Amino acid sequence: MLLAALRDAQSELTGPRPPRVDHQASFQQLLERLESARGGAPYFPYLSSGIGNGPWVELADGSVKLDFIAGIGVYGLGHSHPRWLQAGVQAALQDTVMQGNLQQHVPSIELCECLLKLAQAQGAGLSHCLLTTSGAMANENALKIAFHHRFPADRVLALDHCFAGRSIAMAQLTDRPHYRTGIPTVLAVDYIPAEDPEHSPQSQARSLAALEKHLQRYPGKHAALWLELVAGEGGYYPGSEEYFKKLIARAKADNVLIIFDEVQTFSRLSQPFAFQHFNLDDYADIVTLGKITQLCATLYRDELKPKGPLLSQTFTASSASIEAALVVLDELERTGCFGAAGWNMQRHDYFSQRLRELADKYPGKIAGPHGCGMMLALTPGDGSSQAANDLVHALFAAGLMSFVAGSNPARVRFLPPPAVTTNAHIDTAIEIIDKVLAANA
């Protein structure tokens, strides 16, 4: 009955729809209440009605948007997927809403084993999985494991543009000074220039030289090399296999642990993990993931198991998140997202070809596309943050949801839900972008 009611409710959500005039005053009031309660206006006027259909979502003002940002990569099955509903019911029938370190349900084991099996598929030696509720906490746990193992090393190496979350330590690791204004310095981070794909040999040499300098300046002091294989919040900069292998080989020579932050990249490239996409399986010491999995996790090698009560939390995840995570992993596999010629890479080729056509049609208005797999971005106009924000808001008003990424240049990015996005959805997104660019002469 629930599934039938759901299908019925979502049957009309198959294209963009403007807001309903008679909903506008009450919607505005809701936005004002939201702003007052949380102490700041939302980035765009999004308040869901609670119903959607694949990448289409209905807002509380009656409008329907094509959601190509999906909670910044979270709604991998889109909105109101029938299996979300089943996972929710399954969870509601369990005895508790939340699960924690002290008391867990059987599906937690299934999920941890499932994530480890996926991670080990091409040979990575990851043996343990710790669930948690946020990417920042998964990353905190990763750093703790690394420091604990490599004591007294107390520094971290990271790439330019990286983003690691909003805790005090993660704000320090994140390469964005204004995200840590007034925050005490709790972590020593040495940055390495990211790869410039247009000048690969020179940029690789520059990065290696920077790494060498850091290692020599602080001998034995670096616990970990922190790698976000496609810089997400930083602006969609992927590195190459060759680049990563060179950095990793040099870092490993000094016994530096390798941490892959896959909180945004997980499930978006040709393999579930980006480290698998870039053939870096042998080097994965600690890996974090999140967002699309509806909960977050830290995977690590057996020899890094902490000696002492270092890792624990009241909440590991809600029962619904755990059920939903199992469903997400199954749907990503079932819908053929992975493989060198899998659905993710096919849609990447299609979407980027169509974005390139638009870039050719509107020179000066947009450049790109950038990114890889189901992580794509455009550089609008002069690459200023004003230009990126203006384009995101114009697209939103026209029915397409995107978000900004990076600075100098700032970009407009898309994270379409991998399990449900079709080329027809991509065509609709292109039509909307085309119309918006044409209107903003």
Which residue, 56 or 275, is less far from ligand PLP as judged by CB? 275
Residue showing tokens 């320090």:
172
| Residue list 237-296, contact with ligand PLP (CB under 6 A) | 261, 263-264, 290
Which residue, 236 or 243, is less far from ligand PLP as judged by CB? 236
DSSP-assigned beta bridge partners for residue 300: 128, 286
The residue range among 227-235, 245-253, 377-385, 430-438 that interacts with ligand PLP, by the rule CB under 6 A, is: 227-235
Q: For strand 155-159 and strand 188-192, is the pairing parallel, antiparallel, or unpaired?
A: parallel
- The distance from CA 322 to its chain's CA centroid, rounded to whole angstroms, is 18
| Minimal distance, residue 334 CB to ligand PLP, in Å | 25
The residue range among 131-139, 197-205, 397-405, 409-417 that interacts with ligand PLP, by the rule CB under 6 A, is: 131-139
The residue range among 129-137, 239-247, 379-387, 431-439 that interacts with ligand PLP, by the rule CB under 6 A, is: 129-137
Which residue, 179 or 218, is less far from ligand PLP as judged by CB? 179
As a whole number of Å, the end-to-end CA separation of the chain is 50
| Residue list 153-192, contact with ligand PLP (CB under 6 A) | 163-165
One-character DSSP codes across 176-233: -GGGGTT-----EEEEEPPP-GGGHHHHHHHHHHHHHHHHHHSTT-EEEEEE-SEETT
Do 378 and 405 touch, CB atoms closer than 8 A? Answer: no
Kindly write out the interface string for residues 65-84 of this chain, putting x where it contacts ligand PLP by CB under 6 A and - elsewhere: -------x------------
| Nearest residue to 317 via CA among 285, 293, 282 | 293
Query: How many amino acids of this chain bind ligand PLP (CB under 6 A)?
Result: 15
Residue showing tokens 């995570």:
325
Which residue, 189 or 263, is less far from ligand PLP as judged by CB? 263
Residue showing tokens 């040495």:
190
**Residue 71, CB-side half-sphere exposure with 13 Å CA sphere:** 15
| Minimal distance, residue 440 CB to ligand PLP, in Å | 28
| Residue closest to ligand PLP (Cβ) | 135
| Residue list 42-61, contact with ligand PLP (CB under 6 A) | none
Do 157 and 226 touch, CB atoms closer than 8 A? Answer: yes
SS3 of residue 101 by DSSP: coil
Judged by CB under 6 A, does residue 321 bind ligand PLP? no
| Minimal distance, residue 64 CB to ligand PLP, in Å | 26
Do 331 and 83 touch, CB atoms closer than 8 A? Answer: yes
| Minimal distance, residue 354 CB to ligand PLP, in Å | 25
* The only residue of 67, 140, 233, 285 in contact with ligand PLP, by rule CB under 6 A: 233
Which residue, 165 or 409, is less far from ligand PLP as judged by CB? 165
From start to end of 3-162, where are the E strands?
48-53, 56-59, 64-67, 98-99, 128-132, 155-159
Q: What distance in Å separates the CA atoms of residue 116 and residue 125, rounded to the nearest whole number?
A: 9
Do 392 and 403 touch, CB atoms closer than 8 A? Answer: yes
Cα-based distances in Å from 316 to 84, 87, 88: 20, 17, 17
Kindly write out the interface string for residues 374-413 of this chain, putting x where it contacts ligand PLP by CB under 6 A and - elsewhere: ----------------------------------------
* The only residue of 67, 140, 195, 228 in contact with ligand PLP, by rule CB under 6 A: 228
| Minimal distance, residue 287 CB to ligand PLP, in Å | 12
| Minimal distance, residue 190 CB to ligand PLP, in Å | 19
* The only residue of 63, 99, 132, 139 in contact with ligand PLP, by rule CB under 6 A: 139
Residue 220 contacts by C-beta under 8 Å, 6 or more apart in sequence? 153, 254, 255
The residue range among 116-124, 130-138, 213-221, 372-380 that interacts with ligand PLP, by the rule CB under 6 A, is: 130-138
Q: Residue 371 belongs to what H/E stretch?
A: strand 366-372
Judged by CB under 6 A, does residue 134 bind ligand PLP? yes
Which residue, 267 or 428, is less far from ligand PLP as judged by CB? 267
Q: Which residues bind ligand PLP (CB under 6 A)?
A: 72, 134-136, 139, 163-165, 228, 232-233, 261, 263-264, 290
